[in-house]
Copies of this chain bind each other. A is one copy, B any other.
Amino acid sequence: MAAACELIDQTGTDAFSMRTLARRLETSTATIYRHVTGMEELRILVVDRLLGEVLASAAGRPPPGTWQEAARTELLLFHDALSRHPNLLGLFASEVPIGPNGLAVRERTITRLLEFGFPVSLAARAYTTLAHYVIGFLAPQHAPDAPGPRQAAALRRYYLALDPAEYPSTVAAADALTTVSHDDEFLEGLQFILDGIDTALARGGD
């Protein structure tokens, strides 16, 4: 798993294959099949390894003062771990992570919400919504050879070059759509969701 993570970190998802991994481990592809059932399990285990980092990075933190703080911290830890391993992003789109570390992260987040008095059903819906947001936010970033800011600048130029008669709103919003920093955009979108959950909580959380 360590070798697989390193390989993806260094060369990207596309160059990662059973064969390149076997070469790095100085063994053969057939030997890898003695440890995992196939490519799919390999990817699941790599994802779970990253979630292990998320789990570890939370150790020793002071307990959160509010549920919003708790939720924001959880999401930011996940966001930060993926920032350290941007090439792993593409692995998250396909499945609900249910490896040991995935379970532990989900358990911790839901527990935090319940501790702050959330009804179980609201905690569950809040959790899944937040999880969907963070996946959706991070998924497009892993486009090959898109180092982020450069892509945003290109997108901005593309929007600004559109015919303002046909696309008035897009042209007007070009800056707002593209020049907000990655981290700020993440936090601002997150705040919408947290405020919406707050509204539901105030209503009684049914």
Contacts and interface: CB of A to CB of B under 8 A. Distances in A.
Interface of A: 90, 93-96, 98, 103, 106-107, 110-111, 114, 120-121, 123-129, 131-137, 139-140, 142-143, 155, 158, 162, 166-170, 172-173, 176-177, 180, 185, 188-189, 191-200
A205 to B, nearest CB: 12
**A-side binding surface: helix, strand, loop or mixed?**
helix
B170 A103 contact: yes
A72 B158 CA distance: 27
Contact of A136 (B123, B133, B142, B177): B133
A95 B142 CA distance: 8
Contacts of A193: 129, 192-193, 196
Contact of A110 (B111, B170, B199): B170
Contact of A129 (B95, B114, B123, B189): B189
Given A98-B158, A133-B133, A93 B200 contact: no
